[in-house]
Amino acid sequence: MKRLMIAVGAILLACLTLWGASLKLTESSVASGGKRLIIYNWGDYIDPALIKKFEKKTGYQVIYQTFDSNEAMYTKINQGGTAYDLTIPSDYMVTKMRRGKLLRPLALQRIPNRKYLGHDFLHKSFDVKNAYSLPYFWGTLGIVYNDRLVKPGSIKTWDDLWQRRFRHNILLVDSARDMIGMSLASMHYSMNTTNALQLHLAKAKLDQLGPNIKAIISDELKMYMIQNEAAVGVTWSGEAAEMLSNNRHLHYVLPKPYSNLWFDNFVIPKTAKNLAGAYAFINFMLNPKNAAQNAAYVGYASPVQAAWQHLPQAVRRDRSFYPTQKMVKKLMVFKDLPPKMVQKYNDLFLEFKMYAR
């Protein structure tokens, strides 16, 4: 009996200590006080040297945490108990977070470096007045091909993917919105359509791509393209940039008639404790030199137009990564669709994956 009591006591004690410790930990990360800045960003989406530089310059201690999908980030912030001072959602997610009252309006006068941002990248439909967000990176959805397996210049439009010569040789990225969007764009429909007929037509067209598809994957796509596993991959521009730098046979095309233009944006969540630090960081990252260094490291395109002159000429002149103004105007930004529509897109995509043969 005595032994049993000791055992139960020990368990209770262990539980209490762990509980206390976890309480202490959350407390210290919540009560970030004046000198801590908690940033919640996508994985591998910033040049770590810049964080060091920022810490040195301002004296803030940066705590950098990462997420791997907009939805995961949304869930975490929505559930509370976090104290992120800054996070980087994509376009449609900015709208969703704003609707969910998770964002704090930006005091733009505290971000003087916003003047370096290119005009084409401001006032987009997801935040017309830039009241809540400023762009961090932007990019497109496009096609990567391997010139050992595909004649350069022979892929110009989305429709080219449907040709028989690519049988079992295309890798698609596992994202419902992007893939249904691709099919919609190839038929000149809006990539934000809520028209049931257009969606079904898009899905039917995607089904016909079935025999050409080798796999529908996510991050691994990069590795497979680098290893010459497939002739063609459909993916985002920044991913493509990384592939290109690892395999000189790869090329990126922005297909006609149009494609998706996406933005990842600085926002300050309601939970932020260190506002001064968050503004200082946004300002720091919009500094043209820093923005250029970051863009060179990450590989996505920077909306800080004044930074472009600091980039190597080969990058700046590459029309598939830095398309002309005329091309950008044609690109389509995703809107935040109501949950029912999001479900519809995903259901259709899941159905497509099931029967894709």
Partner 1 sequence: MKNKRHPGLFAIPYVLWIAFFVILPILLIVWYSFTNTNQHLTLQNYHTFFANGTFLRMSLNSFWYAFLITLATLLISYPAAYFLTKLKKQQFWLLLIILPTWINLLLKAYAFIGILGRQGLVNQFLQLFGLGPVNMLFTNFGFLLVATYIEIPFMILPIYNAIVAIDPALIQASEDLGASKWQTFRFVLWPLSRAGVESGIQAIFIPSLSLFMLTRLIGGNRVITLGTAIEEYFMTTMNWNMGATIGVILIVMMILVMLLTGNKPAHGRRMHHE
Identity of the residue, 4 or 128, whose beta carbon is nearer to partner 1 in the bound complex: 4
Contact status: 338 vs partner 1 (CB under 8 A):
no
Structure token digits, residue 283: 């300002």
Return d(Cα 316, Cα 321) in angstroms, integer.
8
115 neighbors 108 (Cβ within 8 angstroms): no
Identity of the residue, 90 or 130, whose beta carbon is nearer to partner 1 in the bound complex: 90
Given 129, 153, 220, 312, the residue binding partner 1 (CB under 8 A): 220
Identity of the residue, 49 or 350, whose beta carbon is nearer to partner 1 in the bound complex: 350
* Phi and psi angles of residue 82, each rounded to the nearest 5 degrees, phi first: -110, 165
Determine how many CB atoms are found less than 10 A away from the CB of residue 16: 10
DSSP string, 49-106: HHHHHHHHHH-PEEEEEEES-HHHHHHHHHT-----SEE--BHHHHHHHHHTT-EE--
Site residues (CB under 8 A) for partner 1, limited to 95-134 = none
Given 71, 129, 196, 245, the residue binding partner 1 (CB under 8 A): 71
DSSP state of 160: G
Contact status: 346 vs partner 1 (CB under 8 A):
yes
For residue 20, give every residue at least 6 positions away whose Cβ sits within 8 Å of its Cβ, in sequence order, or none.
none
Report the DSSP beta bridge partners of residue 36: 61
Per-position x/- string for 166-185, each x denoting binding to partner 1 as judged by CB under 8 A, each - no binding: --x-----x-x---------
- The structure tokens 């934000």 sit at 192
Q: How far is the CB of 333 from partner 1 (least distance, A)?
A: 19
Per-position x/- string for 131-150, each x denoting binding to partner 1 as judged by CB under 8 A, each - no binding: --------------------
Site residues (CB under 8 A) for partner 1, limited to 2-31 = 4, 8, 11
Residues that bind partner 1 (CB under 8 A): 1, 4, 8, 11, 69, 71-72, 74-75, 168, 174, 176, 213-218, 220, 223-224, 227-229, 339, 342-343, 346-347, 350-351, 353-354, 356
